[in-house]
Structure 1
Amino acid sequence: MSNVARVVALSLLALGMFAYPQEVLSSAGGGLTLWWNFVLPALLPFFIISELLMAAGFVHFLGVLLESFMRPVFRLPGKAAFVVAMGYTSGFPMGAVLTARLRQAGEITREEGERLLAFTNNPSPGFMIGAVASGMLGKPSLGVLLAGSVYLANLMVGFLFRFYRVSPKSPLPTNLPSLKRAWQELRDAQNRDKRAFGQVLGDAIKQSTNTVLMVAGFMAFFSVVLRLLNIWHVTLFLAFLSHSVIRIVQIPVFQAFFNGLFEMTLGCQESIRALSLLHQQVALLALLMGWGGLSVFAQVAGLISGTDLRFYPFVIARVLHAILALGLSQLFLLVAKVPTSVVTIQTPSTSFIVWNTWHLSSLVFMGIIAILFVLTLIQQPTR
């Protein structure tokens, strides 16, 4: 975007905020309420524990054990397995946070960071299973299908990105994992960090709080932008134009899709209202969750701004992820017997969703680590 276009866009946004102060207040409040109820309790503890694990040398420990698996499959160092596990567990934008940290510490190269960033940013399992499938759709049985489509599509993106900017000067390693060497790497990492535990904990909480507050700012800002666009009927105009040109896209569906391009949660809610057929709902939900939304894009861009990582590979990966997730969701619907009856959750509450997020995220994290360890042990030579 040119400087003139940027100034014009920001001027229009400022005028809109002055013209509709009540709408700005309510939309920003809605974004912050969503952050307070779901994002803060779901992400902040995982941010803190990830900082503590990195300071304790756990990343270096995993790096040695999982090198022989991560290199052949994803062309990434074993340390990237920690980012994969936390990214799949905690949801947006944990993958970007940890990738930026590894790049700043010099643990990964620029190309490896861009490969890692491409497939470690997902919706959390609690959001897909608890909030979308159970809360919005009223069909908890669809949670596994949606999560499976999104996760499998992302793994496929990760495998495709192993061919991204491959250097012939960096052959795949042949060293087998060694538990003794892994422990030595962990001890060396701890010896290099001279901070006391109290300082490590304080730094982890401060860094994590700053990150989660930044996420709150992005959510509030994009809620306001999207609300102003709807007030100005920009989405309705684009929907009408699309409907006039191709004659097959319904205006409510296009508006839900457009809103989902900006903010994933709002797009998911409106997709369910706009569509009545199950396979159409699942298709649009998988597409939007694979895409993530421009709000997430802005968060990732802000988090990697202090590194030399390029942003365009992330955008390409999100487009691939959205398309693959949509296709896999329809394939799974064909082969799976999904109940079509609506399940009503009695007295849904914030605590229910938060508990679901913690429970599901913990299971996913432990499952990913266990699978990686088993795959690594399979590669061990028989004696």
Structure 2
Amino acid sequence: MSTVARVFALGLLALGMFIYPQEVISSAGEGLVLWWRFVLPALLPFFILSELLMSAGFVHFLGVLLESFMRPVFRLPGKAAFVVAMGYTSGFPMGAVLTARLRKAGEITRVEGERLLAFTNNPSPGFMLGAVASGMLGKPALGIILSSSIYLANLLVGFLFRYYRVTTGPRQSSRLPSFRRAWQEMKEAQFKDNRAFGQILSEAIKQSITTVLMVAGFMAFFSVILRLLNVWHVITFLATLSHVFIEAIPIPILQAFFNGLFEMTLGCQGTIQAVTELNHQVALLALLMGWSGLSVFAQVAGFISETDLRFFPFVVARTLQGIIALGLSQVFLTFVEIPTSTIAIQFPSTSVVFWNTWQASSVMFMGIMTLLFILVLVRQPR
């Protein structure tokens, strides 16, 4: 963006804030409420945990054990498996934060970092299962369809990105994983980081709080921008203009779509209100959650700004994931007996209570860790 365009956009935004102070306050508050209810409990504990695990050398431990799996499947080092696990567990923007950390530490190359960034950023399981399926839709069973579509689409994107900028580097070792070698690598990493545990813990908490507060700022700021765009009828104009070319799609659905392009959560809420057919709801929700929204884009851009990682491959990956997730959601719906209407399906109330943000993230983390260690055991020499 040129300097003139940037000054004009910021001046217009400042003018809007002065003209509509109540809209700014309410929209910023709504963004912070979403952060407090869903993002903070999903991210903060896992940010602290990731910092502690990295300082304990766990990344090096996994790097040795999972090298023989990650290389042939994703063309990534074994250390990337830690980012995959934490990204799937905690949601945005954990994958970007850890990818940037590995790149700054020189643990991955630039191309490997861009491959890793492409498929380690998803909505958290708590958001998909708790906020969207149980809370907004009132149909917890649809959380399985939505999350399966998102995660499978994400893995397919990761596999496709193994062909991204293939280079002929030094041949990787084909040795099978060894617990002894992995343990030695972890001990060496701990020896290099000779800080006391109290210092490690305090720095992990400080760094995690700083990061999660940055996420809060992004969410509040983009909530304000989106509210002003709606007040100025920009979203309505875009929806109406699109309806001229795509008459089959009603304007309210297009409005929900454009809201979701900017901010995923508000787009999901608008989808539930604007769309009546259940299969159309699921399709648009999968598309928007796969895309993730410009708010998340800004977060990722901010976290990788101190590295040499390029942003455009991430945009391509998000576009691919949104389209693939939409298609997969419709395929999965054909195998599930759910009426295509807005009539609520009766489920035990305990299912709604169980799939809250923290529990869903914890179950996902334990499941991924178990799967990783099963892969390690399978790859062990007999």
TM over 0.5: same fold? yes
Matched, 1:218 2:190: no
Matched, 1:78 2:106: no
Cα deviation code 1:92-117 (max 9, x no counterpart) = 00001111111111111111111100
Displacement after TM superposition at 1:337 (Å): 2.5
Displacement after TM superposition at 1:356 (Å): 1.9
Match of 1:14 in 2: 14
SS at match of 1:287: helix
Displacement after TM superposition at 1:169 (Å): 1.9
Moved more, 235-244 or 277-286: 235-244
- Asked if 1 retains the 8 angstrom alpha-carbon contact of 2:278 and 2:339, the reply is no
Match of 1:257 in 2: 257
- Asked if 2 retains the 8 angstrom alpha-carbon contact of 1:84 and 1:120, the reply is yes
SS at match of 1:342: coil
In 2, Cα distance between the equivalents of 1:47 and 1:99? Answer: 13
Question: Which ranges of structure 2 fall in alignment gaps of 5 or more residues?
Answer: none
Q: Aligned AA for 2:243?
A: H
Match of 1:336 in 2: 336
In 2, Cα distance between the equivalents of 1:255 and 1:310? Answer: 30
In 1, Cα distance between the equivalents of 2:379 and 2:347? Answer: 45
Match of 2:239 in 1: 239
Count of paired positions: 379
In 2, Cα distance between the equivalents of 1:343 and 1:206? Answer: 44
Runs of 4+ in 1 over 6 A off after TM superposition: 344-348
- Asked if 1 retains the 8 angstrom alpha-carbon contact of 2:91 and 2:122, the reply is yes
Match of 1:278 in 2: 278
Match of 2:373 in 1: 373
> TM-score scaled to structure 2, two decimals?
0.96
In 1, Cα distance between the equivalents of 2:52 and 2:94? Answer: 14
Cα deviation code 1:54-78 (max 9, x no counterpart) = 0011111111111110011001111
- Asked if 1 retains the 8 angstrom alpha-carbon contact of 2:140 and 2:347, the reply is no
In 2, Cα distance between the equivalents of 1:347 and 1:279? Answer: 24
Q: Aligned AA for 2:51?
A: E
Match of 2:50 in 1: 50
In 1, Cα distance between the equivalents of 2:377 and 2:347? Answer: 42
Matched, 1:293 2:293: yes
- Asked if 2 retains the 8 angstrom alpha-carbon contact of 1:72 and 1:172, the reply is no
Cα deviation code 1:12-47 (max 9, x no counterpart) = 111111110111111111111111122112211110
Displacement after TM superposition at 1:239 (Å): 1.2
In 1, Cα distance between the equivalents of 2:227 and 2:91? Answer: 25
Match of 1:198 in 2: 198
In 1, Cα distance between the equivalents of 2:245 and 2:361? Answer: 43
Q: Aligned AA for 2:325?
A: A
Question: Which ranges of structure 1 fall in alignment gaps of 5 or more residues?
Answer: none
- Asked if 2 retains the 8 angstrom alpha-carbon contact of 1:68 and 1:376, the reply is no
Matched, 1:25 2:25: yes
- Asked if 1 retains the 8 angstrom alpha-carbon contact of 2:128 and 2:146, the reply is yes
In 2, Cα distance between the equivalents of 1:339 and 1:236? Answer: 31
Match of 2:182 in 1: 182
Displacement after TM superposition at 1:258 (Å): 0.4
Match of 2:323 in 1: 323
SS at match of 1:310: coil
Match of 2:134 in 1: 134
- Asked if 1 retains the 8 angstrom alpha-carbon contact of 2:41 and 2:357, the reply is no
- Asked if 1 retains the 8 angstrom alpha-carbon contact of 2:218 and 2:299, the reply is yes
- Asked if 1 retains the 8 angstrom alpha-carbon contact of 2:115 and 2:161, the reply is yes
Cα deviation code 1:243-287 (max 9, x no counterpart) = 123322211111100000011011001101111111100000000
In 1, Cα distance between the equivalents of 2:55 and 2:21? Answer: 45
Q: Aligned AA for 1:342?
A: A
- Asked if 1 retains the 8 angstrom alpha-carbon contact of 2:57 and 2:189, the reply is yes
Displacement after TM superposition at 1:346 (Å): 9.8
Q: Aligned AA for 1:7?
A: V
Distance 1:337 1:381, change over 3 A: farther
Cα deviation code 1:300-322 (max 9, x no counterpart) = 00001111111011000000000
Displacement after TM superposition at 1:172 (Å): 4.3
Match of 2:121 in 1: 121
Matched, 1:95 2:82: no
Cα deviation code 1:152-171 (max 9, x no counterpart) = 00000000011111111243
- Asked if 2 retains the 8 angstrom alpha-carbon contact of 1:28 and 1:220, the reply is yes
- Asked if 2 retains the 8 angstrom alpha-carbon contact of 1:141 and 1:338, the reply is no
Match of 1:310 in 2: 310
Q: Aligned AA for 1:162?
A: R
Displacement after TM superposition at 1:330 (Å): 0.5
Q: Aligned AA for 1:246?
A: I
In 1, Cα distance between the equivalents of 2:6 and 2:104? Answer: 30
SS at match of 1:335: coil
